[in-house]
Amino acid sequence: MKHVYIIHGYQAVPEDHWFPWLEQHILQTGAIAERVFLADSAHPDADVWQECLSAQCTVLNENTIIVAHSLGCVSSLNFLSKVLQKSSIGAGIFVSGFTEKLNAIPELDQFMESQTLDDKLLRQHILRRYVLLSSNDPFVSPPLTIRLGQRLNAQILEIKQAGHFMQEDGYTAFPQLWDVLRPLLTDS
């Protein structure tokens, strides 16, 4: 059975944006969906977030799919770099992801410096990789997400004028993401 973890980002909680909408769509297919809680997202601590991921993302196999947003992308990739030494997950979908410091949010610099990604391991052990970016993201400029996609050798999908894919950008539903995820839930 497919198992999808939905991982939020900076200043968000699992009830925000398109996360509940996506969970409902996943559950309707018969798959398992879990929205992961990352503690104190207004003041993220990289070690605490790794502990949160370790405690909640316990099913990691070829039926597992990670869907992460913003700061949740680099956090989940850091986590996967450590735990996927001998196993693989089916897919990773990273929305507005980045692995470099953000000019728009310098308070995340220390968090970003603590992240260690094993690009080769991630490419080998995340069997399908997708990166979604917005043409007008005010926080994560498109080149940053494109570079993440290149690091992962991921399929890169651009969505025009989507902001940062947040509720305030009109993203309480995310049909473009569902178009990527739905086929992954039905393949065997």
Q: What is the end-to-end Cα distance of the chain in Å, rounded?
A: 9
Cα–Cα distance measured from residue 127 to residue 90, given in angstroms and rounded to the nearest whole number = 5
Amino acid making up residue 174: F
38: left (phi over 0), alpha (psi -120 to 50) or beta: beta
Would you please indicate which residues are annotated as catalytic (active-site) residues?
A: 70, 137, 164
Cα–Cα distance measured from residue 177 to residue 17, given in angstroms and rounded to the nearest whole number = 13
Check: CB of residue 145 under 8 Å from CB of residue 131. Answer: yes
In sequence order, the 6+-apart residues with CB closer than 8 A to the CB of 141 are none
